[in-house]
């Protein structure tokens, strides 16, 4: 069966399996495979373990050779030979988050499959599984083995593939369907930065409270006057008593909340000052949707909540960062807020071009550096309140990792601010003139008629763990499937097209 005949075979085969493919994806989405505490044989938690086993069970039903590699990853394989062709996907997901209008655990509506992981990366996982099944059932003789690997820790550090490739071979040719079409030949490097602010305690010392509920507090006495109304007041009247925001460092935070402990009688004054700074905080946060703020007061407390828009950390301009906007808003109180200079630094460090951490740069291959403040929380450390912030930096292919780390660690900062590097990885680059790139581009263009050029991205995929590897789909130019956002989805027609493209790609690389 030549390539043209195989393409004709796929016409009928995919249409026959259409409903089955959708059902398979729905079953996989219904497993809430967010990483969690390890269990026996499941280093990334029970739900990720269930998702990996689901893949193995399905592959075995299709007659594929399978292996669960110590609960870190699993694979399905066909064919024989010394050389290996590989597709790498993952079945772990980020938390569902809020704001969904469809069931985050699987729903079909208007020709789409909705659910967390529908596009990132369970849809492509199912597509690759059925692509290998189609290749097997076509009976085409292969010169190289074909293997589909699924990992369980892509969203939280790649420990899955690190372990997998300690015990399993790397491929001759490989791609990861976890980015965009037509093809990604370069991926930015990554630096995870931690910033810790040791805050002034003030008033009655730290409480580090949960988000304050104004409805449970007593009314503020109108007879109590605010000391900051008096002339010459220099002392802070507000102290950060609680802060939480974000779900993952690699997601633009869509929610954040803060509790301020305030000198009694100053609650209205503080809220008034914060409300007047809302426009500038919205401008600072930027994004496609303006930040929404909500204020509540109680006896000696003010609570502020911010709502933004989630997005992938590699494209922070597509989101509205609630943590960054809220920190900026709080710092607008100036000397009336204890540690306002340090809090302002944390906000400035969140500038999406990296300027706040002295690493702004760009190149002609992969574009500008990006920065995302993904997590923030106020904790007690040694009896003192510490605001912990985590940033996700994606830097250009031509930038030097050691130089960027040096600039981050040497960045001028206020007293009581500590900066550290949690982890870092170098950029990935594959020759755009290679056999792999040319083959995959040809197939995509034949199937879609889209002649868009290959690209570089800020996201990090499994392609970077394969020599010469590339990312290949699943998102087409101009599309937005809501990756890491509410109402993540994939159209059923696009899902079938993925099966077809990946089956043809594996055929072309393996025969």
Q: Is the separation of the CB atoms in 182 and 212 below 8 Å?
A: no
Q: Which residue in 92, 107, 120, 267 is the catalytic one?
A: 92
Classify 19 as helix, strand or coil: helix
Per-residue pLDDT of the chain (511 residues; tens, 9 = 90+): 999 999 999 999 999 999 999 999 999 999 999 999 999 999 999 999 999 999 999 999 999 999 999 999 999 999 999 999 999 999 999 999 889 999 999 999 999 999 999 999 999 999 999 999 999 999 999 999 999 999 999 998 899 999 999 999 999 999 999 999 999 999 999 999 999 999 987 645 544 444 434 334 334 334 356 666 555 555 799 999 999 999 989 899 999 999 999 998 999 999 999 999 999 999 999 999 999 999 999 999 999 999 999 998 999 999 999 999 999 999 999 999 999 999 999 999 999 999 999 999 999 999 999 999 999 999 999 889 999 999 999 999 999 999 999 999 999 999 999 999 999 999 999 999 999 999 999 999 999 999 999 999 988 899 999 999 999 999 999 888 888 889 999 999 999 999 999 999 999 999 9
* Residue 415 CA to its chain's centroid (Å): 31
Q: Which residue in 77, 107, 120, 154 is the catalytic one?
A: 154
Task: Give the span between the Cα atoms of 43 and 37, in whole angstroms.
Answer: 8
User: What would the pLDDT profile of 309-329 be if each residue is shown by its tens digit?
Assistant: 999 899 999 999 999 999 999
User: What would the pLDDT profile of 181-225 be if each residue is shown by its tens digit?
Assistant: 999 999 999 999 999 999 987 645 544 444 434 334 334 334 356
Task: Give the span between the Cα atoms of 17 and 40, in whole angstroms.
Answer: 35
Write down the architecture of domain 3-188+427-510 according to CATH: 3-Layer(aba) Sandwich (3.40)
Q: What class is the 194-425 domain?
A: alpha beta
Query: Within 10 A of 109 (CB to CB), how many other CB atoms are there?
Result: 12
**Residue 92 is a catalytic residue:** yes
pTM of the entire predicted model: 0.78
Domains in the chain: boundaries: 3-188+427-510, 194-425
**Residue 268 is a catalytic residue:** no
């Amino acid at each position: 069966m030549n390539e043209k005949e195989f393409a004709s075979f796929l016409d009928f085969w995919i249409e026959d399996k259409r409903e089955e493919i959708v059902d398979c994806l729905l079953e996989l989405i219904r497993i809430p495979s967010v990483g969690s505490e390890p269990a026996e044989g499941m280093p990334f938690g029970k739900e990720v373990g269930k998702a990996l086993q689901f893949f193995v069970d399905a592959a075995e039903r299709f007659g594929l050779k399978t292996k669960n590699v110590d609960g870190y990853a699993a694979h399905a394989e066909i064919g024989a030979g010394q050389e290996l062709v590989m597709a790498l996907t993952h079945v772990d997901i980020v938390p569902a988050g809020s704001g969904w209008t469809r069931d985050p655990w699987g729903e079909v509506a208007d020709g789409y499959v909705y659910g967390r992981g529908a596009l990132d990366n369970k849809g492509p996982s199912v597509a690759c599984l059925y692509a290998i099944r189609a290749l097997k059932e076509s009976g085409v003789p292969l010169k190289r083995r074909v293997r589909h690997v699924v990992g369980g820790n892509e969203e939280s550090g790649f420990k899955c593939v690190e372990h997998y490739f300690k015990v399993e071979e790397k491929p001759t040719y490989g791609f990861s369907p976890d980015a965009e079409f037509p093809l990604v030949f370069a991926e930015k490097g990554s630096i995870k930065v931690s910033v810790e602010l040791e805050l002034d305690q003030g008033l009655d010392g730290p409480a580090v409270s949960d988000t304050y509920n104004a409805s449970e507090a007593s009314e503020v006495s109108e007879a109590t006057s605010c000391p900051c109304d008096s002339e010459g007041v220099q002392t802070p009247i507000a102290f950060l008593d609680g802060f939480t925001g974000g779900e993952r460092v690699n997601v633009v935070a869509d929610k954040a909340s803060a509790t301020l402990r305030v000198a009694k009688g100053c609650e209205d004054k503080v809220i008034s000052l914060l409300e007047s700074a809302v426009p500038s905080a919205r401008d600072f946060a930027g994004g496609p949707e303006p930040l929404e703020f909500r204020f509540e007061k109680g006896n000696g407390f003010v609570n502020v909540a911010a709502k933004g828009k989630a997005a992938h950390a590699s494209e922070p301009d597509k989101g509205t960062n609630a943590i960054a906007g809220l920190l900026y808003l709080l710092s607008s109180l100036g000397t009336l807020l204890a540690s306002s200079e340090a809090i302002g630094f944390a906000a400035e460090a969140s500038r999406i071009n990296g300027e706040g951490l002295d690493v702004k740069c760009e190149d002609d291959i992969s574009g500008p550096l990006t920065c995302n403040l993904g997590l923030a929380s106020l904790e007690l450390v040694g009896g003192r309140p510490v605001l912990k912030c985590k940033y996700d930096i994606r830097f250009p292919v031509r930038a030097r990792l050691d130089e960027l780390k040096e600039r981050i660690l040497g960045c001028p900062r206020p007293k009581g601010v500590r900066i550290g590097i949690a982890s870092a990885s170098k950029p990935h680059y594959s020759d755009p003139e290679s056999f792999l790139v040319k083959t995959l581009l040809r197939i995509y263009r034949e199937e879609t008629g889209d002649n868009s050029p290959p690209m570089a991205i800020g996201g990090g995929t499994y392609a970077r763990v394969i020599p010469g590897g590339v990312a290949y789909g699943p998102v087409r130019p101009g599309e937005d499937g809501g990756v890491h956002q509410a109402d993540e989805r994939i159209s059923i027609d696009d899902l079938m097209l993925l099966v077809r493209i990946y089956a043809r790609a594996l055929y072309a690389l393996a025969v």
